[in-house]
């Protein structure tokens, strides 16, 4: 198959700035290829994709040099609406790309813009819904759908325009695991079954290495690495330099290859299971499991007794939850969207009142306390930092909480100075928060809670939409707070960070707490996890599916050590 | 909408939206023209029957009925005391029910009372009719009906439907911002009204900037789906009229003509 996309010496800077966000890009993509573009935040990935359909420079202004040829058209000089029939784009946030009052109308939006008649539009709608398996959503209101369903509809709307290329800009960053799986499976089908060229911008690599033909790694507007998946991921040191996440299967595979257990780098967990299962164990593994649960004598800081809550009154969203959390624990609440994780957390901070049951913080009932009163003891960082930043400068934002609590000036000055250092935003003290990157805004949101010095910090999905480096930065910050004695509770879908940072995991399903224990304990309960749609990390999955390996492995290093012990 | 649309298997939900819209229009016209409480009560009773037929969730607008009960009583009292009854036709219009002050000063007239009662009923009539419309016709069908109007360009329809969809999104954003303020130690419920209003000021900036950002993202996504081409296609679904729909539609049109004609003859007027 021939070239369908060609960037030749492409450079770009946004209007009013001199900084080049794309620097002399040269890439060719063949028709039908599945190409993944990755790299740290700010590397220029999205900008590069926006040059494909002419959004840059027609919609987003700036200085664009070089040549961009897409299916024979010059993307720089062809109007965006003409390019739209060649290149479809699916963005991060499904809420901002759904235009119809119903799913059917939304999918018809693009074809209608192309000037097709009602009947022609409907033909496209039906085909799109059939091919993407979303027929059941036809008459639903887009805004009532789950995240995964919304994103599927967005893809359907783009697919109905019959483009030859579809660009996906971090399409799963706002989705839960089920939504992610659904969207990845659709993307895979679009490529493999219907032959559409895919350009996917993504941070999370473990899922997509299974389907990608080519990986492009960008950094600071340049192509840092490119080639086939194996070729790129073999260069671990270079990837580590950028702080990129390396899929656990590849990390393990590289270690095993180095010790000559494997002849080549294996990309997927299934391949590793297949090959490693053929080894014969020479030793029986003796578990050296250490208990890392917080000692019992520590003070109980949060106590939840028979907590029930119902939003609409027709069913319980929390069904009699019982729980106690000790001072200094680092707890992860996991489970599918709608399982009751955020509802539980909102009760602890007092934003929701229970229909039944009791909540105590430091032994005192909180029923009569206002949220503001409770904020001295329990801090809550919302999922979206933009919904909790109120002031005009980073410094003022950090002052907002302690000022409301009536702290004196000197205290506020000292704590703000300290926290600015802790969250790494000292140089942005006077900057308008909107000018910060998403990761920095998330840090600011966390900092604004830390300045209130609560004993418990609850963070709702702290790493959603962040690159791996920022994810680790944020989690390290929470770890430091935990080391200082703070109790940390995170709500997350990222099992890798649960394994790395948390000493206790609570699994929720349909308003009930179904598992409670250390990561090692919890991740062995395969059946319950399946019910809760929680997928352990690849390394746990690999270990579980190799007969001679213990099934409570939670890190690559641990797997590697145990494997060597058993098979050598 | 006072009550959100719900897909149900009732005769009203199955009726062509254009018929329901015409019915609602007639109620609005009647409420403008008629001043006689008996006529208004007849329409109100018909609306209650239609509501029953559509399994309308009366509980959801109960709050509205109770909230406007005070202004309604106020309207009736004011009309009873102040209405210039020479504008009415009814023979009993000047019948005095009682006096507010001694020495037969400030009379409360039957004409004013009935006029005020009809005026109040008209508020309920329109509200119930519009609520039944919203409950039985999907927003999508309402937009489709608007799309048929000659004044409705694609841009107009798009702006209208986007605004409609984003009301719940903005509402959610406001709730999140207020919740975030509370978790940062702000006592929103405490203090005088003016102080409480002042505490809301900080949410204006993030609300505006978030909305602008959302608008930007929407524009980018629209552009990427070829919005802006010069096509005049409006993606209008063909409307299907069953025989019953046609009969009801014609009957409603006749009713509308009769309503206006009889009004000119003095019917429906107090």
Which residues in chain A are contacts of B7 at CB distance < 8 A? 139
Tally the domains of chain A: 2
Cis peptide before A57 (omega within 30 of 0): yes
pLDDT at B125 (0 to 100): 93
The verdict on residue A171 lying in a domain is: yes
Listed by number, the residues of chain B in 229-258 with a beta carbon closer than 8 Å to a beta carbon of chain A are 229, 231, 233-238
∠ at Cα A476 (A472, A480), nearest 5°?
A: 175
pLDDT at B128 over 90: yes
Q: Please tell me whether residues B180 and B122 are part of one structural domain.
A: no
The verdict on residue A276 lying in a domain is: no
Size of interface A-B (CB pairs under 8 A): 172
Tell me the per-residue pLDDT of B143-170, one tens digit each, with 9 for 90 and over: 778 877 777 776 777 777 777 777 777 8
The verdict on residue A560 lying in a domain is: no
CB contact under 8 A, A387 and B210: yes
pLDDT at A11 over 80: yes
Task: For residue A423, name the pLDDT band (cuts at 50, 70, 90).
Answer: very high
Q: Which residue has the tokens 């656990």?
A: A248
pLDDT at B19 (0 to 100): 93
Query: What would the 3-class secondary structure string for A151-192 be?
Result: HHHHHHHHHCCCCCEEEEECCCCCCCHHHHHHHHHHHHHHHH
The verdict on residue B230 lying in a domain is: no
For residue A91, the distance in angstroms to the closest alpha carbon of chain B comes to: 8
Q: Please tell me whether residues A179 and A304 are part of one structural domain.
A: no
pLDDT at A338 (0 to 100): 83
Question: What range does the domain containing B35 cover?
Answer: 11-147+239-264
**Which of these, B147, B165, B139, B131, lies nearest to B59 by C-alpha position?**
B131
CB contact under 8 A, A387 and B173: yes
In whole numbers, what is the pLDDT of chain A averaged over residues?
Answer: 90
Out of A208, A229, A250, pick the residue that ends a domain.
A229
Q: Give the nearest chain A residue to B162 (CA atoms).
A: A99
Residue among B182, B185, B225 whose CB faces A351 most closely? B182
pLDDT at B233 (0 to 100): 63
Sheet of A73-74: strand order equals: A22-30, A3-14, A62-70, A73-74
pLDDT at A168 (0 to 100): 95
Q: Please tell me whether residues B44 and B130 are part of one structural domain.
A: yes
Q: Please tell me whether residues A517 and A425 are part of one structural domain.
A: yes
Q: Please tell me whether residues B94 and B140 are part of one structural domain.
A: yes
Q: Please tell me whether residues B22 and B90 are part of one structural domain.
A: yes
pTM, entire model? 0.79
Listed by number, the residues of chain B in 102-141 with a beta carbon closer than 8 Å to a beta carbon of chain A are 138-140
Question: What range does the domain containing A110 cover?
Answer: 3-229
Task: For residue A96, name the pLDDT band (cuts at 50, 70, 90).
Answer: confident
Listed by number, the residues of chain A in 37-56 with a beta carbon closer than 8 Å to a beta carbon of chain B are 53, 55
Residue B69 CB neighbour total at 10 angstroms = 11
Residue among B182, B185, B224 whose CB faces A84 most closely? B224
Instruction: Please compute the mean of the pLDDT values over residues A58-79 and round it to a whole number.
Output: 92
The verdict on residue A499 lying in a domain is: yes
Return the SS3 of B109.
strand
- Please, which residues bridge with residue A28 across strands? A6
Residue among A91, A161, A376 whose CB faces B221 most closely? A91
Q: Please tell me whether residues A414 and A531 are part of one structural domain.
A: yes
Question: Could you give the count of Cα atoms lying within 13 Å of A93 in the half-sphere of its Cβ?
Answer: 12
The verdict on residue A113 lying in a domain is: yes
Q: Please tell me whether residues B128 and B168 are part of one structural domain.
A: no
* Residue A434 contacts B, CB cutoff 8 Å: yes
Tell me the per-residue pLDDT of B234-267, one tens digit each, with 9 for 90 and over: 667 777 789 999 999 999 999 999 999 999 998 9
CB contact under 8 A, A115 and B223: no
Which residues in chain A are contacts of B210 at CB distance < 8 A? 386-387
Higher-scoring residue by pLDDT: B165, B75: B75
Q: Please tell me whether residues A305 and A200 are part of one structural domain.
A: no
Q: Please tell me whether residues A448 and A351 are part of one structural domain.
A: yes
Q: What is d(CA B267, CA B270) in angstroms, rounded to the nearest whole number? A: 8
Q: Give the nearest chain B residue to A81 (CA atoms).
A: B226
Q: Please tell me whether residues B160 and B142 are part of one structural domain.
A: no
Lowest mean pLDDT among A47-51, A546-550, B90-94, B127-131: B90-94
Q: What Å distances lie between residue A502 and A496, A520, A532, B248, CA to CA?
A: 10, 11, 19, 66
Lowest mean pLDDT among A85-94, A215-224, A312-321, B160-169: B160-169
The verdict on residue B54 lying in a domain is: yes
- Read off φ and ψ for residue A495, nearest 5 degrees: -70, -25
Q: Which residue has the tokens 């340049």?
A: A222
Which residues in chain A are contacts of B180 at CB distance < 8 A? 382, 387-388, 390
Is there a contact between A118 and B148 (Cβ–Cβ < 8 Å)?
Answer: no
pLDDT at A289 over 90: no
- DSSP 8-state symbol, A300: E
pLDDT at A296 (0 to 100): 58
Q: Please tell me whether residues A183 and A328 are part of one structural domain.
A: no
pLDDT at A316 over 90: no
Task: For residue A92, name the pLDDT band (cuts at 50, 70, 90).
Answer: confident
Q: Give the nearest chain A residue to B217 (CA atoms).
A: A96
Q: Please tell me whether residues A220 and A110 are part of one structural domain.
A: yes
Listed by number, the residues of chain B in 59-88 with a beta carbon closer than 8 Å to a beta carbon of chain A are none
∠ at Cα A16 (B215, A79), nearest 5°?
A: 55
Higher-scoring residue by pLDDT: A526, A165: A165
CB contact under 8 A, A118 and B158: no
Tally the domains of chain B: 2
Which residues in chain B are contacts of A116 at CB distance < 8 A? 233
pLDDT at A321 (0 to 100): 95
Choose the mutation target among B178, B226, B230, B238 for the interface with A, i.e. most A CBs under 10 Å.
Answer: B226
Residue A119 CB neighbour total at 10 angstroms = 8
pLDDT at A217 over 80: yes
Q: What is d(CA A103, CA A101) in angstroms, rounded to the nearest whole number? A: 7
**Largest pairwise CA distance in chain B:** 78
Q: Residue A370: is it exposed, middle or buried by C-beta count within 10 angstroms (0-12/13-18/19+)?
A: middle
Residue among B169, B205, B224 whose CB faces A55 most closely? B224
Q: What is d(CA B165, CA B127) in angstroms, rounded to the nearest whole number? A: 21
Q: Please tell me whether residues A218 and A336 are part of one structural domain.
A: no
Q: Please tell me whether residues B88 and B130 are part of one structural domain.
A: yes
Q: Please tell me whether residues B86 and B17 are part of one structural domain.
A: yes
ipTM of the complex: 0.81
* Residue B101 contacts A, CB cutoff 8 Å: no
Q: Which residue has the tokens 């660009």?
A: A167
Sheet of A165-169: strand order equals: A87-90, A165-169, A197-201, A34-38, A214-219, A222-227
Q: Please tell me whether residues B81 and B139 are part of one structural domain.
A: yes
CB contact under 8 A, B180 and A108: no
Q: Please tell me whether residues B125 and B165 are part of one structural domain.
A: no
Residue B149 CB neighbour total at 10 angstroms = 10
CB contact under 8 A, B164 and A452: no
pLDDT at B228 over 80: no
Listed by number, the residues of chain A in 127-146 with a beta carbon closer than 8 Å to a beta carbon of chain B are 139, 141-143
Lowest mean pLDDT among A443-447, A488-492, B97-101: B97-101
Beta strands in A190-329 (DSSP E): 197-201, 214-219, 222-227, 300-309, 318-326
Q: Please tell me whether residues B254 and B166 are part of one structural domain.
A: no
Tell me the per-residue pLDDT of A462-476, one tens digit each, with 9 for 90 and over: 888 888 999 999 999
The verdict on residue B187 lying in a domain is: yes
pLDDT at B1 (0 to 100): 59
- Please, which residues bridge with residue A380 across strands? A458
pLDDT at A288 (0 to 100): 53
- Read off φ and ψ for residue A137, nearest 5 degrees: -90, 0
CB contact under 8 A, A351 and B222: no
Q: Residue A137: is it exposed, middle or buried by C-beta count within 10 angstroms (0-12/13-18/19+)?
A: buried
Q: Please tell me whether residues A215 and A89 are part of one structural domain.
A: yes
In whole numbers, what is the pLDDT of chain B averaged over residues?
Answer: 86
Q: Please tell me whether residues A60 and A193 are part of one structural domain.
A: yes
Q: What Å distances lie between residue B213 and A386, A396, B220, CA to CA?
A: 11, 22, 11
pLDDT > 90 fraction of chain A, expressed in percent and rounded: 62
pLDDT at A435 (0 to 100): 87
Helical pair B110-136 and B17-33, crossing angle rounded to 10 deg: 170
Tokens of A432: 């308008």
Tell me the per-residue pLDDT of A24-53, one tens digit each, with 9 for 90 and over: 999 999 999 999 999 998 899 999 999 999
The verdict on residue B270 lying in a domain is: no
Residue among B225, B231, B237 whose CB faces A118 most closely? B237
pLDDT at B230 (0 to 100): 66
Which residues in chain B are contacts of A392 at CB distance < 8 A? 205
Residue A339 CB contacts under 8 Å (≥ 6 apart), including other chains: A508, A509, A510, A511, A532
pLDDT at A86 (0 to 100): 92
Q: What is d(CA A437, CA A434) in angstroms, rounded to the nearest whole number? A: 8
The verdict on residue B233 lying in a domain is: no
Tell me the per-residue pLDDT of A450-459, one tens digit each, with 9 for 90 and over: 999 999 999 9
Tokens of B247: 């009969």
The verdict on residue A317 lying in a domain is: yes
Q: Please tell me whether residues A224 and A335 are part of one structural domain.
A: no
Q: Please tell me whether residues B95 and B51 are part of one structural domain.
A: yes
For residue B247, the distance in angstroms to the closest alpha carbon of chain A comes to: 27
Tell me the per-residue pLDDT of B183-192, one tens digit each, with 9 for 90 and over: 999 888 777 8
* Residue B183 contacts A, CB cutoff 8 Å: yes
Task: For residue B232, name the pLDDT band (cuts at 50, 70, 90).
Answer: low
Is there a contact between A25 and A65 (Cβ–Cβ < 8 Å)?
Answer: no
Listed by number, the residues of chain A in 517-546 with a beta carbon closer than 8 Å to a beta carbon of chain B are none
Out of A201, A229, A257, pick the residue that ends a domain.
A229
Tokens of A464: 């959603």
User: Domain with A334 in it: what CATH number?
Assistant: 3.40.50.300
Q: Please tell me whether residues A164 and A309 are part of one structural domain.
A: no
Instruction: Please compute the mean of the pLDDT values over residues A345-366 and round it to a whole number.
Output: 94
* Residue A547 contacts B, CB cutoff 8 Å: no
CB contact under 8 A, B226 and A351: no
* Residue B182 contacts A, CB cutoff 8 Å: yes
């Amino acid at each position: 198959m021939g070239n369908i996309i060609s960037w030749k010496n492409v450079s770009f800077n946004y209007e009013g700035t001199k900084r080049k966000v794309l620097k002399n890009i040269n890439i060719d993509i063949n028709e039908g290829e599945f190409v993944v573009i990755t790299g740290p935040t700010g590397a220029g990935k999205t900008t590069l994709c926006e040059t494909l359909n002419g959004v840059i420079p027609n919609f987003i202004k700036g200085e664009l040099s070089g040549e961009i040829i897409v299916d024979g058209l010059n993307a720089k000089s062809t109007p965006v609406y003409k390019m739209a029939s060649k290149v479809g784009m699916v963005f991060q946030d499904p809420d901002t790309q759904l235009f119809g009052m119903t799913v059917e109308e939304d999918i018809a939006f693009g074809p209608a813009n192309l000037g097709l008649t009602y009947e022609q539009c409907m033909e496209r709608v039906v085909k799109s819904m059939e091919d993407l398996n979303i027929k059941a959503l036809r008459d639903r209101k887009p805004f009532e759908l789950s995240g995964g369903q919304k994103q599927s509809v967005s893809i359907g709307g783009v697919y109905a325009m019959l483009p030859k290329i579809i660009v996906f800009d971090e399409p799963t960053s706002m989705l839960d695991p089920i939504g992610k799986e659904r969207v990845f499976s659709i993307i895979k089908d679009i490529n493999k079954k219907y032959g559409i060229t895919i350009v996917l911008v993504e941070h999370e690599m473990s899922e997509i290495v299974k389907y990608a033909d080519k990986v492009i790694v960008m950094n600071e507007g340049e192509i840092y690495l490119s080639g086939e998946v194996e070729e790129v991921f073999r260069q671990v040191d270079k990837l580590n330099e950028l702080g990129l996440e390396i899929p656990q299967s590849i990390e393990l595979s590289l270690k095993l290859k180095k010790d000559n257990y494997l002849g080549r780098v294996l990309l997927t967990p299934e391949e590793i299971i297949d090959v490693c299962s053929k080894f014969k164990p020479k030793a029986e593994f003796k578990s050296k499991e250490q208990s890392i649960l917080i000692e019992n004598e520590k003070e109980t800081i949060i106590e939840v007794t028979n907590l029930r809550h119902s939003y609409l009154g027709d069913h319980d969203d929390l069904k009699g939850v019982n729980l106690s959390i000790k001072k200094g624990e680092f707890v992860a609440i996991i489970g599918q969207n709608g399982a009751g994780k955020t509802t539980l957390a909102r009760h602890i901070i007092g934003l929701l009142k229970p229909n039944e049951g009791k909540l105590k913080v430091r032994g005192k009932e909180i029923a009569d306390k206002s949220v503001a009163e409770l904020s001295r003891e329990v801090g809550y960082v919302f999922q979206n930092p933009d919904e909790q930043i109120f002031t005009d400068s980073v410094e003022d934002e950090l002052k907002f909480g302690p000022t409301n609590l009536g702290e004196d000036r000197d205290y506020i000055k000292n704590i703000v100075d300290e926290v600015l250092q802790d969250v790494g935003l000292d140089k942005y003290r006077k900057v308008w928060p909107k000018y910060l990157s998403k990761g920095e805004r998330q840090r600011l949101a966390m900092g604004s809670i830390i300045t209130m010095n609560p004993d418990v910090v609850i963070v709702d999905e702290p790493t959603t939409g962040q690159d791996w480096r920022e994810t680790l930065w944020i989690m390290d910050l929470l770890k430091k707070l935990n080391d200082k004695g703070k109790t940390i509770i995170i709500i997350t879908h990222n099992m890798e960070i649960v394994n790395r940072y948390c000493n206790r995991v609570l699994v929720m399903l349909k308003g009930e707490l179904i598992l409670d224990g250390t990561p090692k304990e919890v991740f062995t309960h395969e059946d319950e996890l399946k019910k809760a749609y929680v997928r352990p990390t690849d390394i746990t999955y690999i270990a579980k599916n190799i007969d001679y390996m213990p099934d409570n492995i939670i890190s690559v290093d641990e797997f590697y050590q145990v494997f060597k012990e058993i098979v050598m | 909408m006072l009550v959100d649309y719900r897909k149900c298997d009732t005769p009203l939900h199955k009726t062509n939206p254009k018929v329901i819209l015409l019915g609602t229009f007639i109620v609005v016209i009647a409420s403008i023209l008629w001043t006689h409480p008996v006529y208004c009560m007849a329409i109100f009773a018909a609306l209650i029957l239609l509501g029953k037929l559509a399994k309308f969730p009366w509980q959801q607008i109960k709050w509205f009925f109770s909230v406007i009960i005070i202004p309604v009583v106020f309207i009736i009292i004011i009309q009873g005391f102040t209405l210039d009854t020479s504008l009415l036709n009814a023979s009993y219009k000047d019948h005095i029910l009682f006096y507010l002050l001694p020495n037969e000063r400030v009379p409360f007239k039957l004409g004013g009372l009935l006029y005020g009662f009809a005026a109040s009923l008209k508020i309920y009539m329109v509200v119930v009719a519009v609520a039944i419309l919203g409950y039985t016709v999907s927003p999508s069908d309402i937009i489709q009906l608007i799309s048929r109007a000659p004044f409705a360009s694609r841009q107009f329809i798009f702006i209208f439907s986007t605004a409609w969809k984003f009301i719940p999104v903005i509402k959610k954003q406001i709730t999140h911002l207020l919740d975030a303020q509370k978790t940062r130690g702000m006592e929103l419920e405490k203090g005088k009204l003016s102080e409480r209003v002042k505490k809301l000021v900080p949410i204006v900036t993030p609300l505006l900037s978030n909305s602008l950002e959302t608008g930007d993202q929407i524009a980018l996504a629209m552009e990427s789906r070829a919005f802006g081409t010069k096509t005049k296609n409006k993606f209008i679904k063909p409307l299907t009229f069953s025989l019953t729909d046609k009969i009801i539609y014609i009957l409603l049109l006749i009713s509308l003509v009769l309503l206006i004609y009889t009004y000119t003859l003095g019917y429906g007027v107090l």
